[in-house]
Amino acid sequence: MTPVVVDGNSLSLADVVSVARDSAKEVLFSETAQKAVDESRELKLRLIATGQPIYGVTTGFGDSVTTQIAPAKAAQLQRNMIRYHLNGTGPLAPDEVVRATLLIRANCLARGNSGIQPAVVERLLDLLRHDVLPQIPERGSVGASGDLVPLCYVASALIGEGQLTFRGRTHEAGEVLAQLGLQPVALEAKDGLGLINGTSFSAAFAVLAAHDAHQLAVTADICTALASEALLGNRGHYAAFIHEQRPHRGQRDSAALLTELLDGSGLSLPHNQVVDLNDPLEGRGHGKLRRSIQDRYSLRCAPHVNGVLRDTLEWVDRWLETEINASTDNPLFDAGTDDVHSGGNFYAGHVVQAMDSLKVAVANIADLLDRQLELLVDEKFNNGLTPNLIPRFEDDNWEGGLHHGFKGMQLACSAITAEALKTSNPASVFSRSTEAHNQDKVSMAPIAARDARNIVGLTREVTAIHLLAACQALDLRGTDEMSPRTRAVHELVRSAVPFVDSDRRMDQDIAAVVELIRTGAVAEAAGVTSAN
């Protein structure tokens, strides 16, 4: 297993996901980075010795910057700052988010600009190595001056205070550190501020949301391919010529994948074959087509919707990779010039803009698939399938008229989609003036990032319901003429969930297919090797 090396410069989004979702992943602190961190600390100590005021080191915080303290009080100031920010509320952040937060914070500090002790970075990595996770409430941060409240729960754990999750149970931090033979960090000037004055909690949610959104982009195309077959669609809508004339990369990639997925299908046909299915006019002034030559927008324009998500992710990934390899605290120490700089790198503007945009793009995928589902279940639009995809019964069968199939599933899907759409409201425009008007413009990045992750989860549920309905429709239509790749997806779903031959509960079906999507099994069955 290749270890993840923390050096402040080369951490990848894939590294973050791997550590977040694999508690056994090895993490190392680069020797070069250790040296840079130590040099920054030495500069801090020299500057303190001059007696000059240094923000957050020998002054108060935020609006209290006008209060200078003696260097002898600096360590106590850091401990007090951590304690007075321990006021988070709401649910605890999931374990994978906490692991990602620890890794990103360690990497940002490893750049060697923060003036902290190397032991701070090492102890963050020790928590990861032992899978000892601070319990972090999700709410309480406005995203500038960094994720102060959530990251204080990390800092509190490092000094041996607060609660940790270890081996599935809650323990006092000091007890766990002692059990593992780890000394609490003895804070010195700037250590606490370096830990909490950054964007790492927001970035953790953001990186995981973006990773899973890549997976949804692929799965949405797979869903569209299945729906096109179930509805006897026109796969000519995805012809390369069309999309080369409006050559957004994501749109072209989505259309290309749909073309590949539907290759060999006898249900979703090329445009010329759809046209040939219709009778010629033969001198008549008008006539009714037997098969429409053009599908509704939710099928025809699917690459135009999913392409936006794909293209959004391209720049979101780029911005997030910059963010997780950045010094995001204040002040920063330049060991090359012996200067200290006060600035605002804790302002998570790029994270919030990325997440507000990602929220909208992903919510539109939920809406797209919900519209396709409506076509599948509605006998007015599903080209001869049963109403609500109920089984077919003979006229004299007692069960006739007793079943409603996917009617309830469509209702649930609509509700989930509405929640995703509602949650896509941008957070960045709701900046609040806080902390005695010192923090008078703040990013709201943690709210946007948490919402983005929630929307990804909601859209995954919509996708699961869509897959179940599409497979039900294709069972009714007949699977023999499906393309090889869509048939493989159908077989995967059927290996986990049976055909709905009578009304029954389907919440467990949804959960099973959500797991197939989450693990990448759906993409793998379709022959898509990577969701990224």
Find residue 59's DSSP bridge partners. Answer: 68
Q: What is the C-alpha separation between 345 and 39, in angstroms, rounded?
A: 21
- Could you please report the per-residue DSSP string of 363-425? HHHHHHHHHHHHHHH-TTTSTTPPGGGPPP--TT-TTTTS--TTHHHHHHHHHHHHHHHHHTS
3-class secondary-structure state, position 529: coil
For residue 530, the model assigns a pLDDT of 58
Q: Is the peptide bond before 331 cis (omega within 30 degrees of 0)?
A: yes
Q: Is the peptide bond before 228 cis (omega within 30 degrees of 0)?
A: no
Place of tokens 């649910």: 91
**pLDDT tens-digit profile of 142-161?**
998 889 999 999 999 999 99
Q: What is the C-alpha separation between 353 and 312, in angstroms, rounded?
A: 11
Q: Which of 55, 153, 238, 347 is catalytic?
A: 55
With residue 18 as reference, give the H or E element that holds it: helix 13-21
**pLDDT tens-digit profile of 28-71?**
999 999 999 999 999 999 999 999 999 999 999 989 999 999 99
**pLDDT tens-digit profile of 90-142?**
999 999 999 999 999 999 999 999 999 999 999 999 999 999 999 999 999 99
Q: What is the C-alpha separation between 269 and 482, in angstroms, rounded?
A: 11
Is the C-alpha dihedral spanning 160, 165, 167, 172 positive or negative? positive
Is the C-alpha dihedral spanning 343, 316, 444, 131 positive or negative? negative
Instruction: Record the tokens describing residue 294, joined without a space.
Output: 């053009």
Torsion of Cα atoms, 150 then 154 then 156 then 161, to 10°: 120
Q: Are strands 27-29 and 4-6 parallel, antiparallel or unpaired?
A: parallel
**pLDDT tens-digit profile of 289-348?**
888 999 999 999 999 999 999 999 999 999 999 999 999 999 999 999 999 999 999 999
Q: Write the DSSP symbol of residue 9.
A: S
**347 is annotated as an active-site residue:** no
